[in-house]
Amino acid sequence: MFPILPAGSPAVATTSLPAFVVAHDGLYLRKQSLLGLSQTKVDGIEHLPVEKEFVEYALPKVPADLMARIVGFFRSIYRRQATEALVLLLWADAGFDCFVPAQKVSPVSVSHTLDETELPPKSRVIGSIHSHGAFGAWASSIDADDEAQFDGLHVVVGNFDRARPTYSVALAVDGQRFDIPTNIVLERPRRLVEPPEDWLQQVKLLPPPRASRSKGKGTGSNGATASVPGTLPTGASRVDLDVALVRALGLAERLGLHLSYQLVRREGSSRKGGGADD
């Protein structure tokens, strides 16, 4: 087997060749030939078998009594102001716990701030659970982006306009997101618990996005019209975009259609913001 060395190690210069060098941006093959010393980036190693990415969940299920408190909190927020909300999932003393951070919310987004000194002693953040209000428990493009940067267990709870909310679960590891069957990770609560007042006080409403002053024009088929702004507001954000996408998804459902989309970052653009937005 060829030696495998980390990039920047002094051993790279003295090891027997050929060898593999593992760097921040991937895997390199370093070898000596008649032509000279070379190092080339490789996508794979031909003589080795193919592997696949995976994750095996090792913790116990999030217990039903804890989920009853968390989902009860989400339900209370939805009934009060029809917005999302977020809870951080903790691991402490060999068991699950939760923490409600200060957060700013809207019907389609939630962003939070965390002062780690506020966490219970000997606890660590291992994931997040956030609600989707009346929308389904699917992860939006922003959810997926945020989860990819936050190793841990991530749960979305949706459809609070129905008798029973829906759930989706994912595990994020090293930038990769794995969808996990709900019954492997959590116990669904039978009866929800009303939240304490200090949880509710942590949730603040975001101001609504400012409407564009530009004039719209008629569009649509079958004589339908809709207001389409001539130009986008200069302050447009990812939240504004997701608001429009969520509205489009809801409209498609009412028309008996399934709308799918993919957001692709343009070359040279940069991402701003954070938090578990939808």
Average pLDDT of the chain, as a whole number: 83
**Tokens at residue 188, please?**
């669904």
d(CA 215, CA 226): 11
pLDDT surpassing 50 at residue 197: yes
pLDDT surpassing 90 at residue 228: no
- What pTM was computed for the model? 0.70
What is the tens place of the pLDDT at every residue in 32-41? 999 899 999 9
Q: Does 48 reside within a domain?
A: no
> Which of 109, 95, 102, 89 lies closest to 151 in space, CA to CA?
89
Do 226 and 91 sit in the same domain of this protein? yes
Instruction: Give the per-residue pLDDT at 19.
Output: 93
Q: Does 47 reside within a domain?
A: no
Strand pairing report for 86-92 and 123-131 = antiparallel
Instruction: Give the per-residue pLDDT at 277.
Output: 40
Do 124 and 239 sit in the same domain of this protein? yes
Q: Does 123 reside within a domain?
A: yes
Select the more confidently predicted residue: 223 or 62: 62
Do 126 and 222 sit in the same domain of this protein? yes
What is the tens place of the pLDDT at every residue in 54-64? 999 999 999 99
Do 95 and 121 sit in the same domain of this protein? yes
d(CA 160, CA 135): 8
Tell me the mean pLDDT in the region 193-205: 97
Expressed as residue numbers, the domain containing 11 is 4-42
Q: Does 209 reside within a domain?
A: yes
Domain with 99 in it: what CATH number? 3.40.140.10
Do 144 and 16 sit in the same domain of this protein? no
Do 100 and 203 sit in the same domain of this protein? yes
Return the percentage of the chain with pLDDT > 90, whole number: 56
Do 148 and 270 sit in the same domain of this protein? yes
Do 212 and 81 sit in the same domain of this protein? yes
Instruction: Give the per-residue pLDDT at 144.
Output: 79
Question: 263 CB contacts (<8 Å, ≥6 apart)?
Answer: 141, 241
Do 254 and 151 sit in the same domain of this protein? yes
Do 28 and 155 sit in the same domain of this protein? no
**Tokens at residue 95, please?**
């068991």
Do 83 and 159 sit in the same domain of this protein? yes
**Residue 175 binned pLDDT confidence (cut-offs 50, 70, 90):** confident
Count of structural domains, the chain: 2
Q: Does 221 reside within a domain?
A: yes
Do 149 and 256 sit in the same domain of this protein? yes
**∠ at Cα 25 (24, 26), nearest 5°?**
100
pLDDT surpassing 60 at residue 5: yes
d(CA 188, CA 169): 12
Select the more confidently predicted residue: 212 or 205: 205
What is the tens place of the pLDDT at every residue in 43-55? 887 777 888 999 9
